């Protein structure tokens, strides 16, 4: 970009540009190993099952499974303030209705042995 003596600048609002854009990763791709462990992903699904919660200790953690619209299930781990926020919503959610979770900038961790990959917010501080 080159500015000359005749160049003028104005602030322009572009209302049609969204502030957030999600590129959801298919859970089937993650389960098949089609992911890069150092690339953050967006995923969405319904809570399938609460596996574990630890909020009284110094290290706060919640583990749950997430099911997508195809029926694929993946384990998710939330840490610290994310775990607390999740549990507050989960404990106040109306039973019988699906609880939809959207995780942004989540990290996929490769499975260990017989265990499949997991999704985590462990990169957050």
Q: What CATH code would you report for 27-120? A: 2.40.50.140
For 67-89, the pLDDT digits (tens) are: 999 999 999 999 888 888 888 88
Instruction: Label each residue of the chain as H, E or C.
Output: CCCCCCCCCCCCCCCCCCCCCCCECCHHHHHCCCCCCCCCEEEEEEEEEEEEEECCCCCCEEEEEEECCCCCEEEEEEEHHHHHHHHHHHHCCCCCCCCEEEEEEEEEECCCCCCCCEEECCCCC
What would the mean pLDDT of 2-29 be, rounded to a whole number?
A: 78
Q: How confident is the model at residue 40 (pLDDT cuts 50, 70, 90)?
A: confident
For position 9, what pLDDT does the model report? 74
Is 0.85 topped by the overall pTM?
Answer: no
- Judge contact between 104 and 76, C-beta under 8 A: no
Longest dimension (CA), the chain: 67
Asked whether the predicted pLDDT for residue 122 surpasses 50, the reply is no
pLDDT of residue 28: 93
The owner of tokens 């969405």 is: 44
Q: Give the pairing of strands 118-120 and 73-79.
A: parallel
pLDDT above 80 (res 123)? no
Give which of 109, 112, 57, 108 is closest to 83, Cα–Cα: 57
Q: What's the mean pLDDT when you consider all of the chain?
A: 83
Q: What integer is the mean pLDDT of 8-16?
A: 74
Domain boundaries, the chain: 27-120
């Amino acid at each position: 970009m080159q500015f000359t003596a005749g160049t003028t600048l104005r602030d322009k609002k572009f209302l049609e540009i969204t502030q957030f854009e999600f590129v959801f990763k298919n859970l089937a791709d993650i389960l098949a190993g089609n992911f890069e462990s150092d690339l953050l992903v967006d995923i969405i699904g319904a809570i399938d099952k609460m596996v574990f919660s630890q909020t009284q200790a110094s290290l706060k953690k919640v583990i749950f499974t997430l099911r997508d619209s195809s029926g694929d299930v993946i384990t998710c781990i939330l840490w610290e303030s994310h775990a607390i926020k999740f549990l507050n919503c989960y404990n106040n959610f109306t039973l019988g209705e699906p609880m939809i979770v959207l995780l942004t900038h989540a990290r996929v961790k490769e499975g260990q042995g017989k265990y499949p990959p997991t999704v985590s917010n462990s990169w957050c501080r």
